[in-house]
Amino acid sequence: MLKQLERRYKTLAIIVYILQIAAIFNGITAIIGVIINYLKLKEVKGTWLESHFHWQIRTFWYSLVWSVIGMLTYIFIIGIFILLFTAIWLIYRVVKGFIRLQEHKPI
């Protein structure tokens, strides 16, 4: 039973990582992902998956802040670099988290 729950929440974490990557192209999927994280956070408390849920939540909020800053400064050219950096940073966070998730390790 415990392994079945672990598998279920691991699948949810995978879905959220995919939604975060998709957000690079559409933005909205990251919101869906963070809602999933917040709704299921209590259920993974005390497990190795909890660190992934926190990692994904922090990834969402930092990406949102930097994306807004990038959009606000886009007309000053610096925003282009901020948005590019944010996309690269997001990809790094998702790849790192996904690898650790596949290894069944906390992040």
Q: What is the pLDDT of residues 51-79, one digit of tens each?
A: 999 999 999 999 999 999 999 999 999 99
How does residue 4 score in pLDDT terms, banded at 50, 70 and 90? confident
DSSP strands (E only) in 1-100: none
Task: Report how far apart, in Å, the C-alpha atoms of 93 and of each of 10, 18, 35, 72, 74 are.
Answer: 17, 12, 18, 23, 23
> Is 52 within 8 Å of 100 (Cβ atoms)?
yes
Residue 3 has pLDDT above 90, yes or no: no
The Cα–Cα gap between 107 and 97 comes to: 6
Mean pLDDT of 101-107: 95
What is residue 2's predicted lDDT score, i.e. its pLDDT?
64
What is residue 84's predicted lDDT score, i.e. its pLDDT?
97
Mean pLDDT of 83-96: 98
pTM exceeds 0.95, yes or no: no
Mean pLDDT of 31-60: 97
Question: Which of 74, 104, 98, 89 shows the shortest CA–CA distance to 16?
Answer: 98
Residue 27 has pLDDT above 90, yes or no: no
Cα-Cα-Cα-Cα torsion 5, 54, 30, 75, nearest 10 degrees, comes to: -170
Residue 20 has pLDDT above 70, yes or no: yes
Mean pLDDT of 83-87: 97
The Cα–Cα gap between 20 and 31 comes to: 9
